[in-house]
Amino acid sequence: MTSKTVDGKVIVVTGAGRGIGREIAMLAAAEGAKVVVNDLGGSAEGEGADKGVADQVVDEIRKAGGIAVSNGDSVADPQGAERIIQTAVENFGRIDCVVNNAGILRDRIFHRMSAVDFDAVIKVHLYGAFYMSKAAAPYFKEQESGSFVHFTSTSGLIGNFGQANYAAAKLGIVGLSKSIALDMARFKVRSNCVSPFAWSRLIGTIPTDTPEQKARVERMQNTMTASKIAPICVFLASDLSQDVTGQIFTVRKDEIFLMSQSRPIRVAHKDGGWTPQAIADTMLPAFKSSFYGLDRSADIFNWDPL
């Protein structure tokens, strides 16, 4: 009999009522975890609430022989995040992994983006990841074990149109994850990021105004399913990843990429210091060939998924 990779572990998955979160919760339960299925049950833009969305996933897990409970709190509320973690502790006695998957989209071209739209997305993604991680951290510290799996995006890692709020939040999550990994390594706590390519309700808001956009969305619908993202998340929740922390992984269909992190690539030195004109005359021509273009995610990942 094959052993289950997260047998007996208690895993919280936020935004687990639909899409990627649902697939993570389902696989974690199938692999032996006791799962807290958290979902506010709101719209793709974060409006409304329906706890029945989380309850339905719990019913599916239980029918398949797994163990799960639901929670309908918002990750964007610090007290809500505390209640989500308490749901795990009160029902299952501990917490072993937090998957920070919950998210919303409010895409707007930058000059039309309101402060409300920026704030709402930052609150759910970046503040939500912080609130959830902060609520779980004391338990992880005390037991000297635990894993955080945070969701980032190539929108922040590389770039995309109309997503300044989302990109800022997702790149902020990378910094948050690395800081957690550094600060909590002494307690054997791990923190990693996953950047998914998958068809989901949020991706369904991508415009399809051109033939190229339509073709891209069709490829995502047909090949890059949400279930493809779940295995790496369950791996990172398991003891199989005990030596993996502070990393960023991208998953696209059957491909897994280890993403780079910011490091110096060129250096220029001038005895006595620089003037603006000296920078233009010396530094600029030396560095220019290494400048990054205004690339978008689709420009870098420009081949069909394997």
**Token pair listed for 213:** 């956009």
From first CA to last CA, the distance across the chain in angstroms is 31
Q: Which of 127, 131, 139, 166 is catalytic?
A: 166
The Cα–Cα gap between 300 and 304 comes to 11
Q: Are 24 and 99 in contact (CB under 8 A)?
A: yes
The Cα–Cα gap between 84 and 87 comes to 5
> Three-class SS of residue 272?
coil
The Cα–Cα gap between 126 and 120 comes to 10
Whether 127 sits among the annotated catalytic residues: the reply is no
The Cα–Cα gap between 127 and 152 comes to 13
Query: Order of strands across the sheet with 67-71?
Result: 67-71, 34-38, 10-13, 97-100, 146-151, 189-197, 248-252, 255-258
Question: 250-271 b/e with 16+ CB inside 10 Å = b?
Answer: bbbbeeeeeeeeeeeeeeeeee
Residues noted as catalytic: 166
